[in-house]
Each structure stands twice: as structure tokens, then as C-alpha cells.
Structure 1
């Protein structure tokens, strides 16, 4: 039994040597180099690309939301009241405010029994305070407030 094992081991060892010899003879790039190793050139992977398919109405919705944010519909906002009284005086104050401060929206609201002239739509208290400082120069009775959401 031992002889068969030795024969099998020698036979296996012979096949390994003949395989290595055969492989090294086939490698033409390393025929003058005694090592079996070859160099491999690695290239970096290509940059991945992402394609986003979205409904074109999303852009329209974002534009509407931006406009609503600027108008103060969605966020809490501050306003400044310039006048509270009869309609004729309110109209005069409105015209004066529109010519003096064209950068801010001015409008008249009617709350029983008076007309009120409001200016601006400020997103922060700081923004409102800066505007109030300028407005007080023309309208001494102006005061800030936060309108209630209906």
C-alpha cells in the first residue's frame, strides 16, 4: 500500500512540474525574465452618471411655492399698520405710502368700523424692524403687528 501512495505522490509531483514548465514556456512576454509574474495596468473606473426623470410640473409647483413664500401666504409674517380711520384718509395715506415706499406692498383692509392701511409683508422681525425705522420718518404713528391667519 505504501508503494502505491509513494507512486501516486511522485506521479502528482511530476505532473505539477511539467505543468509549470509548460506554462512558463507558453508565456512569451516573460521569456527573457525568469519570474512568472506579469504586470497588470489598472485604469480608474469611469465616473457614474445619474439620470433623474421628473415630472415637468414639479418646476411649476416650486415656482408657485416660492411666490407664496414671498407673499407670506405659507409663513408667519409681520406687517406695519400706517393708518386706522375713515376711507378718504386711508386712500390718501395709501397713495403717499405707495409713492414713498414702492418696494413694499401697500393695501387697505376694512375691519368694522374702520379702514386700515397696511404696508409690507416681512418674513422676520429683524426685517420688519429695519423697515419700521424708515417708515416712522414719514408715518410717525406706524406700528408693527402680526396678522392672524384665517
Structure 2
């Protein structure tokens, strides 16, 4: 079973809070409608019934965190392509070359004692990564696809 990290836990709690707030307001509104109908009060003259929902301001912040996490691929397994593994000077030159050659994918340097890795892309499916690898192999023939481990 996957254990939720701190960001995911906060997001989950916030979404539960938002849902319970919305459900409570919905129930209050429905109860008011039922009460007026049971008492025989006519609602034909009321043109704009309104519901006031008191929403916690932290919900908007949590939704922004969730959308940024979704863009970064925190919620699903993603594929990356490794271009290089070795010293820092060569890694920087590979990073620069990859950035110039493949502007649609963002390259990055990762440090793993004592070497540096140059990764590119953030692909949702293996097929998407395979298509990119075919293009990348023209410039970097030793590149390969992998799934980074979650920390």
C-alpha cells in the first residue's frame, strides 16, 4: 500500500473538509426547501433563492498545491530518460546540449554520490517516452528510459 506524503495528506484533508462543508450547505438548503413546502408556503413568488456557502480560505491554497503537484507528476508514475552519468563538468555540457537540441523537454541534473546524472523529460506513458527516446538517440545514443523511485 502506498503511504501518503505530507503534501498529499494535507491535500486529502483539505479536499475532505471542502466536501463536508459543501455537503452540509447542500443539506441545509434542501431542509429549508422541504420545510417551506411542508408548511404550505408558496414558493412561486420567490424568484432568486440563494445559498451561502462558508468556505475555508485554505481550500483554494490546497487546490493550487494539488494542481502544481499534478503538473510535476507527484500523483502518478512517470518515465524519464537518462542522458549521462558521470562528473559535473561533462554533465553541465550535456545539460546545455540537451537544452539546445530538445527545447520541448526540460533537462535536469541529479546528484547521486559521487556522480551526476542528466535526465530529460517527464513522460506519462512508456509509449510517449519511447517516441522521445527515438528522437533523442540521434544526439545521445547511450540514453535510456527509466522510472525514478519516489523518495
TM above 0.5, yes or no, is yes
Deviations 1:88-144 (A, max 9, x none): 111110001112222222111222332210111222222222222221222111100
Q: Distance in 1 between matches of 2:89 and 2:56?
A: 50
Which protein shows a greater Rg? 1
CA 47–73 in structure 1, closer or farther in 2 if over 3 Å, else same? same
TM-score by length of 2: 0.60
CA 88–53 in structure 1, closer or farther in 2 if over 3 Å, else same? same
- The runs of 5 or more residues in structure 2 that have no matched partner are 1-43
Q: Aligned ranges for residues 15-30 of structure 1 at < 5 Å?
A: none
Partner in structure 2 of residue 20 of structure 1: none
Q: Aligned ranges for residues 99-110 of structure 1 at < 5 Å?
A: 99-110=100-111
Q: Distance in 1 between matches of 2:130 and 2:139?
A: 15
CA 146–49 in structure 1, closer or farther in 2 if over 3 Å, else same? same
How many pairs does the alignment contain? 108
Q: Distance in 2 between matches of 1:51 and 1:103?
A: 45
Partner in structure 2 of residue 89 of structure 1: 90
2:138 match: secondary structure: helix
Partner in structure 1 of residue 63 of structure 2: 62
Q: Are residues 1:111 and 2:112 paired?
A: yes
TM-score by length of 1: 0.60
1:137 match: secondary structure: coil
Alpha-carbon offset, residue 50 of structure 1:
5.7
Q: CA RMSD in A?
A: 2.4
2:121 match: secondary structure: strand
